[in-house]
Structures are given as C-alpha cells and as structure tokens.
Amino acid sequence: MKIEHLGIAVKCLSQSDDLFARLLGKPNYKQESVEREGVTTSFYELGESKLELLEASQTESPIAKFLEKKGEGIHHIAFGVTDLKTEIERLKKEGFVFISEEPKDGADNKLVVFLHPKSTNGVLVELCQEKPQKVL
C-alpha cells in the first residue's frame, strides 16, 4: 500500500483551486465530476501522491453533509492497492467494516471502496486500485 491521495473537502472548488495552485506552484491536472456521489473533484500531483479536492455538487451528497458537520478540511485518506478484492478479503478477516464491500467507479480512473470510520479510529479510509486499461 502507499498513500495514493488525500481527500480534502472544500466549499468552493474554484476558490480552492486557485488557493492550491498557488500553494503547490502548479495547476490541477484534472477536474472530474462523479455524479453518483454528488461530488466534483480536482486533482493535484504531489510527488508519488496526490491531493483530491472535493466539492459537493448536490445538497444531499456525503460531502455536503461532511461540510455541514465538520466544515472544510481533510475528508479521507486513500491507500493505493494493486489487488482490491484481495485487500477487501484480508481486511474483512481482520475485522474491519466497510461502508460498501462492492468496488465502485471513483474519480481518476479508479475502483474504490471505503472503510467505515468507526473501525479506523475515526478516519475515513479509501482503498483504490487503478482500473485496468480498456482494450480497444
């Protein structure tokens, strides 16, 4: 595992894009909406890892609720794995609880699952795996 990215919840993506571009000295490399999750994301490369800014695109989305409860800040930590299914099985045996055990399409060409923060010291943990390249 490695830290693939940190997810940061923000109220206004355009303002935060401006801020993080100045902070990191370079622009984002991608902006992408995940409609199913009600979120718009913006990605920054940071060495081997990335930052993912998350803005709610729907008032009832998980990010909107997070912002309401906790305000802006670190939302989740994402571990990059090479074999998502095997890691899910391993962690289930270790007693970890998943929000959903079924991998879903995430932003930035990833399959993702989330562990429930109750079982990870209050930290929302995402596991993500690069999606296999589509054969054309």
Burial 97-130 (b: 16+ CB within 10 A, else e): ebeeeebeebbbebbbbbbeeeeeeeebbbbbbe
**Degrees (nearest 5) of the Cα angle 41, 65, 75?**
50
Q: Which of the stretches 5-13, 14-22, 87-95, 96-104 binds Zn ion when contact is defined by CB under 5 A?
A: 5-13
- Residue 62 or residue 95: which is nearer to Zn ion going by CB? 62
**Joined tokens for residue 92:** 């289930």
- Residue 39 or residue 91: which is nearer to Zn ion going by CB? 39
**Binding residues among 109-128 for Zn ion as defined by CB under 5 A:** 126
**Binding residues among 40-69 for Zn ion as defined by CB under 5 A:** 52
Q: Which of the stretches 25-33, 72-80, 85-93, 115-123 binds Zn ion when contact is defined by CB under 5 A?
A: 72-80
Among 39, 64, 78, 84, binds Zn ion (CB under 5 A): 78
Cβ proximity of 6 and 78 under 8 Å: yes
